[in-house]
Amino acid sequence: MNDVFAEFPKGAKCTRCREYPNIRLASHHTILCSSCFLHYFRTAVQRAMKKFRITQDQPILIAVSGGKDSLALWAVLSELGYNTKGIHLNLGIGDFSRASVEAIEKFAADRQLTWSEYSVETILGFTLPEIRERTRRAICSVCGTIKRQLINRLTINEGFLNLAMGHNLDDEAGRLLGNMVRHRTQYLEKQYPYLPSTHPRLPAKLKPLYRLEAHEIRTYCKLMNIAPLEMKCPFSRGATSHLFKEALSFLEHKMPGTKRDFLFTYVNRREPPQPESPYQVCRECGEPSYGNLCSVCNILDRMSGKGESNPVDELTQASYP
């Protein structure tokens, strides 16, 4: 992937402080030194938090996978003085899950940060590979549903009202393009980096990295000595979301700044969505649900052969990451 580190001719100057630069931000048509890049990165997160109206005294639980985005998010929010704790949901995917936990353990120990680990197998009785064997649906969709719902529950059980996730500008712009191409208006209505809570059992969701591109996050990790998980999930092949991101990267390469403009013009002209909350209670687990059976219980029922379709629930949950 492209890196923002670059060599500059003698006499080149950082746009902000006039020292010798080592970083090029093509989408901003600017060159920076490391220290000014870190200032830019932190400011982008502060601007997001201001937009979400979240202050340092509001505790934030951070969903951590061990990848670059979630570790960078945790590091920068801690640096900025936010009261944070990590939460990791172990999917039981062999070496991948073991490496995820190792990356989080090292990161948190180095910085004396606290976190909790939960296991899908302990909660649902199956690892993700076992669920994959027993269900015919695309595994990333099933995994997304399970992660969303379990992390929602666990956030509330841990006593937090705010859940932060590491989605970056590329993720959000790719998702926006995908939703536009497919005319998914019901998803577009909810596409915003902050979603308020609509139920006492659902936390508010925030995406403080939405102003930062993936390669900027990689650069922050290098400068801050963060060693994220490099291994890819063995089930990740073939996700169509990558195609929309690649399409935007192509445009970005030809016209730097396009990706940011595309996302920000959409986000900035909107008010935070107020998702409706027509919640019922899941008849199996008692958690909030759009139908009488929540998405996770629906998956478990289908695995045991007594499943039923609950399209409204799946549709709405899928748009509420």
Please report whether residue 231 would count as binding ligand SF4 according to CB under 6 A. no
Please report whether residue 144 would count as binding ligand SF4 according to CB under 6 A. yes
Please report whether residue 184 would count as binding Zn ion according to CB under 5 A. no
Please report whether residue 178 would count as binding ligand SF4 according to CB under 6 A. no
Q: How many whole angstroms separate alpha carbon 36 and alpha carbon 42?
A: 10
Three-state secondary-structure class, residue 123: helix
* Contacted by 165, from Zn ion, ligand SF4, none: CB < 5 to 8 Å by type: none
Please report whether residue 300 would count as binding Zn ion according to CB under 5 A. no
Three-state secondary-structure class, residue 78: helix
Please report whether residue 285 would count as binding Zn ion according to CB under 5 A. yes
Query: Of how many residues is the chain composed?
Result: 321
Return the sign of the alpha-carbon dihedral for residues 272, 161, 299, 66.
positive
Q: Considering the complex, state which of residue 20 and residue 250 has its C-beta at the smaller distance from Zn ion.
A: 20
Q: How many whole angstroms separate alpha carbon 148 and alpha carbon 140?
A: 12
Please report whether residue 143 would count as binding ligand SF4 according to CB under 6 A. yes
Q: How many whole angstroms separate alpha carbon 44 and alpha carbon 39?
A: 9
Please report whether residue 139 would count as binding ligand SF4 according to CB under 6 A. yes
Q: How many whole angstroms separate alpha carbon 35 and alpha carbon 15?
A: 12
Please report whether residue 4 would count as binding Zn ion according to CB under 5 A. no
Among 99, 140, 180, 315, binds ligand SF4 (CB under 6 A): 140
DSSP 133-174: HH--S-HHHHHHHHHHHHHHHHHHHTT-SEEE----HHHHHH
Please report whether residue 101 would count as binding ligand SF4 according to CB under 6 A. no
- In whole angstroms, how close is the CB of 222 to Zn ion at the nearest point? 17
* Binding piece for ligand SF4, criterion CB under 6 A, among 138-146, 171-179, 247-255, 286-294: 138-146
Q: Considering the complex, state which of residue 156 and residue 233 has its C-beta at the smaller distance from ligand SF4.
A: 233
